[in-house]
Amino acid sequence: MTETFYEVLRRQGITRRSFLKFCSLTATSLGLGSAAAPRIAHAMETKPRTPVLWLHGLECTCCSESFIRSAHPLTKDVVLSMLSLDYDDTLMAAAGHQAEAILDEVKKKYKGNYIVAVEGNPPLNEDGMFCIQGGRPFVEKLRETCADAKAIISWGACASYGCVQAAKPNPTRATPVHKVITGKPIINVPGCPPIAEVMTGVVTYMLTFDRIPELDRQGRPKMFYGQRIHDKCYRRGHFDAGQFAEAWDDEGSRKGYCLYKMGCKGPTTYNACSSMRWNGGVSWPVQSGHGCIGCSEDGFWDKGSFYDRVTDIKAFGVEANADTIGKAAAGTVGAAIAAHAAVTALARARQKAGDSEHVSENQGEK
């Protein structure tokens, strides 16, 4: 089972030729020139698997559960062949001091060369003792383990933003990882939980290209969190046409109309659900009739009821990303919906006239 990355690819039906092509593309995209391709190929054929230490703070283990749902690559191949999951208290055979000894061993042996994956977050109230591990506050274990890491992945809404235990009034002072750990690259992979293939996609990207993916201002990989649910929603046509579900199980619900009026947070949520969907592409929340609850957004628990209509829609258009939205001045609440509807109508009119559909975006930001 200790195959190299190359062997895994081969076993999954990738030919040697494709592998070498992949290496030369990688070399080019890294700006190393084609001469570096053989070196990359050699590294992937021989290098040992990168150790991953997966820590758990205050959490519900939904991120681990999501991770093992990955369809491509399969979890067993990730865990047994692509990386070395040396510590993960949810899955590991050892317990107690035999488990904790692994942390010290990996830290020493792979100093600067291991990845820490954090699920959950540290509580800071009560001297950190709302989460006790090995008799000590989790926050200390987190700090010590991250100290010699190459990079840190913050899994899910807990590690990235705080999630449910940090919802008001945040009684334990549950704190996102990036507010406790500094001086290390941290990749936020929000969602409650994140999509399985997003999780394995982030990890395998890092192992394959030996770098962290391009991140937005909130530390999220742009490749998965660059667009809103609404931008890619298959029900967007109904939104544009003004066809909405108005009540649960009404005619509109049965026809798969837009869930905007039922409180869908798709218009303000950056995630890949509407493109990648869930559990091997079987469905996703909107497809199954419930609006998006915005679980990959910072503080989504404290933005009113999940059934309140989103009233602060500003920019629309597929190429608007979190950064441009962030830069936009706070829009007028309420009036924005009308503006959005008007803009959509305008966009439709212009499309008819042969204009670009993206005309709507700037209009929407007013």
Partner 1 sequence: MSAYETQGFKLDNSGKRVVVDPVCRIEGHMRVEVNLDSNNVIRNAVSTGTMWRGLEVILKGRDPRDAWAFVERICGVCTGTHALTSVRAVEDALSIRIPDNANIIRNLMQLNLYIHDHLVHFYHLHALDWVDVVSALKADPKATSTLAQSISSWPLSSPGYFRDIQNRLKKFVESGQLGPFMNGYWGNPAYKLPPEANLMAVAHYLEALDFQKEIVKVHTIFGGKNPHPNWLVGGVPCAINLEGTGAVGAINMERLNLVKSIIDRCTEFVEQVYIPDLLAIGSFYKGWLYGGGISSQNLLSYGDIPNIANDYSTNSLLLPRGAIIDGKLDEIHPVDLRDPEQVQEFVAHSWYKYPDESKGLHPFDGVTEPNFVLGPNTKGSKTNIQELDEGAKYSWIKAPRWRGHAMEVGPLARMVMGYLQPKQFPEIHGLVEGALKKLDVPVGALFSTLGRTAARGLETAYCVKLQSEQFDKLMTNLKNGDLNTANIEKWEPATWPKEARGVGFTEAPRGALGHWVTIKETRIDNYQCVVPTTWNGGPRDHKGQIGAFEASLMDTPVAKADEPLEILRTLHSFDPCLACSTHVMSPDGQEMTSVKVR
User: Binding site for [3Fe-4S] cluster: residue ranges?
Assistant: 273, 292, 295
Q: CA–CA distance from 161 to each of 24, 100, 173, 285, 327 (Å)?
A: 38, 27, 12, 21, 20
Residues within window 326-365 making contact with partner 1, judged by CB under 8 A:
none
Least spacing, CB of residue 146 vs partner 1, in Å: 12
- Is position 276 an interface residue for partner 1 (rule: CB under 8 A)? no
Cis before 193 (ω within 30): yes
Which of 36, 80, 215, 328 is in the footprint of partner 1 by CB under 8 A?
80
Which of 25, 30, 101, 147 is in the footprint of partner 1 by CB under 8 A?
101
What is the distance between the alpha carbons of residues 15 and 339, in angstroms, rounded to a whole number?
A: 53
- Is position 293 an interface residue for partner 1 (rule: CB under 8 A)? yes
Cβ within 8 Å of residue 15, ≥6 positions away: none
- Is position 76 an interface residue for partner 1 (rule: CB under 8 A)? yes
- Is position 202 an interface residue for partner 1 (rule: CB under 8 A)? no
- Is position 274 an interface residue for partner 1 (rule: CB under 8 A)? no
The angle at the Cα of 227, spanning 225 to 233, to the nearest 5 degrees, equals 120
Residues within window 168-187 making contact with partner 1, judged by CB under 8 A:
168-175, 179-180, 182
- For the record, the structure tokens of 8 come out as 């895994």
Which of 1, 329, 338, 353 is in the footprint of partner 1 by CB under 8 A?
1
Q: Which residues are registered as beta bridge partners of 153?
A: 117, 187
Separation of first and last alpha carbons in the chain: 57
- Is position 45 an interface residue for partner 1 (rule: CB under 8 A)? no
Residues within window 126-155 making contact with partner 1, judged by CB under 8 A:
126-140
Q: What mask, x for binding partner 1 by CB under 8 A, covers residues 303 to 332?
A: --xxx-------------------------
Reference 154, options 123, 88, 110, 199; nearest CA is 199
- Is position 88 an interface residue for partner 1 (rule: CB under 8 A)? yes
- Is position 108 an interface residue for partner 1 (rule: CB under 8 A)? no
Cβ within 8 Å of residue 250, ≥6 positions away: none
Interface with partner 1: number of residues (CB under 8 A): 106
Least spacing, CB of residue 363 vs partner 1, in Å: 29
What is the distance between the alpha carbons of residues 91 and 80, in angstroms, rounded to a whole number?
A: 12
